[in-house]
Amino acid sequence: MTVETYPWAPGFVAGDRPRIVTSRFEHEDSHTLERYMATGGYEGLRAALAKPAAEVHEQVRGSTLLGRGGAGFPAGVKWGLTPEGVYPRYLVVNGDESEPGTYKDRLLMERDPHQLIEGCLIACYAAGLSRCFLYIRGEMALAQERVATALNEAYAAGLVGRDILGSGFGVDIVLHWGAGAYVVGEETALIESLEGNRGMPRLKPPFFPAAIGLYGKPTIVNNVETLSNLPFIAANGAEAYTAIGTETSPGTRMVAVSGHVRRPGVYEIVNGTTTFRDLLYGEEFCGGIRDGNELKAFVPGGGSAPWFLPDQLDLPFEGRQVGAAGSMLGSGAIMVMDSTTDIPAAALTLTRFYAHESCGKCVPCREGGTWLMRVLERVVAGEGTTDDLDLLLEVGQSICPGDMPHASSEALGLEATPFPYKMTTICFVGPSAYVPVHSALTLFRSEFEDRVAPSRSRTRIPVVAVGGGQ
- pLDDT digit string (tens) for the chain, length 470 residues: 678 999 999 999 999 999 999 999 999 999 999 999 999 999 999 999 999 999 999 999 999 999 887 777 889 999 999 999 899 999 999 999 989 889 999 999 999 999 999 999 999 999 999 999 999 998 999 999 999 999 999 999 999 999 999 999 999 999 999 988 899 999 999 999 999 999 999 998 888 999 999 999 999 999 999 999 999 999 999 999 999 999 989 999 999 999 999 999 999 999 999 999 999 999 999 999 999 999 999 999 999 999 999 999 999 999 999 999 999 998 889 999 999 999 999 999 999 999 999 999 999 999 999 999 999 999 999 999 999 999 999 999 999 999 999 999 999 999 999 999 999 999 999 999 999 999 999 999 999 999 999 987 655 678 787 765 54
Q: How far apart are CA 153 and CA 146, in angstroms?
A: 11
- Provide DSSP, 248-265: SSBSEEEEEEEESBSS-E
Confirm whether 7 is domain-assigned: no
Q: Are residues 234 and 363 in the same domain?
A: no
> How many domains, the chain?
2
Pick left, alpha or beta for residue 164 (phi over 0 → left; psi -120 to 50 → alpha; otherwise beta): beta
User: What is residue 465's predicted lDDT score, i.e. its pLDDT?
Assistant: 74
Identity of the residue numbered 78: K
State how far the Cα of 445 lies from the Cα of 438, in Å rounded to an integer: 10
Kindly state whether residues 235 and 348 are assigned to the same domain.
no
- How many angstroms separate the CA atoms of 302 and 335, rounded? 7
Q: Are residues 230 and 377 in the same domain?
A: no
For residue 422, being part of any structural domain is answered with: yes
Whether residue 236 sits in one domain with residue 348 = no
396 close to 404: Cβ distance less than 8 angstroms: yes
Is the same domain home to 218 and 91? yes
Domain endpoint, select from 242, 264, 297? 242
CB count within 10 Å of CB 366 equals 17
Alpha carbon separation from 184 to 85, 99, 108, 220, 355 (Å, rounded)? 29, 11, 20, 15, 15
Question: Does a structural domain hold residue 299?
Answer: no
Task: Name the pairing type of β-strands 265-270 and 295-299.
Answer: unpaired
Q: Where does a domain end: 197, 217, 242?
A: 242
> CA-based Rg of the chain, rounded to a whole angstrom?
23
DSSP notation for 44-98: HHHHHHTS-HHHHHHHHHHHT-B-SSSS--BHHHHHTTSPTT----EEEEEE---
The model's pTM is 0.93
Q: Within 10 A of 413 (CB to CB), how many other CB atoms are there? A: 7
Gap between the Cα atoms of 136 and 140, Å rounded:
7
Query: Does 335 map to a domain?
Result: no
Contacts by 147-155, CB closer than 8 A, 24 or more apart: 147/95, 147/109, 147/113, 147/116, 147/117, 147/175, 148/175, 149/31, 149/113, 150/31, 150/33, 150/113, 150/114, 150/117, 151/113, 151/117, 151/175, 153/32, 153/33, 153/114, 154/33, 154/114, 154/117
CATH number at residue 378: 1.20.1440.230
| DSSP-assigned states of every residue in 272-313 | TT-BHHHHHH-TTTT-SBGGGPPEEEEESSSTTSPPB-GGGT
Question: Are 232 and 359 within one domain?
Answer: no
In the 8-state DSSP scheme, what is residue 385? B
Beta carbons within 8 Å of 282's beta carbon, 6+ residues apart = none
SS3 (DSSP) at 453: strand
Give me the amino acid identity at 201.
P
Handedness of CA 10, 159, 251, 322 (dihedral sign): positive
Q: Which distant-in-sequence residues (6+ apart) come within 8 Å of 64 by Cβ?
A: 74, 76, 242, 247, 248, 250
| CA atoms of 468 and 348, how far apart (whole Å) | 41
Question: What is the three-class DSSP state of 182?
Answer: helix
Predicted pLDDT at 1: 67
The answer to whether position 357 is within a domain reads: yes
Structural domain of 413: 342-455
**Which secondary-structure segment (H or E) carries 35?**
helix 33-38
Shared domain check, 354 and 228: no
Looking at the structure, do residues 229 and 373 belong to the same domain, yes or no? no
Q: What is the CATH number of the domain that holds 152?
A: 3.40.50.11540
**CA-closest candidate to residue 77, choices 126, 115, 43, 118:** 126
Helix (H) / strand (E) containing 335: strand 333-338
| 261 in a structural domain | no
Whether residues 149 and 39 share a domain: the answer is yes
**Residue 200, in any domain of the structure:** yes
**282 located within any domain:** no
Domain boundary residue, one of 210, 242, 274: 242
Are β-strands 131-136 and 172-177 bridged in parallel, bridged antiparallel, or unpaired?
parallel
Strands of 130-186 (E only): list them. Answer: 131-136, 172-177
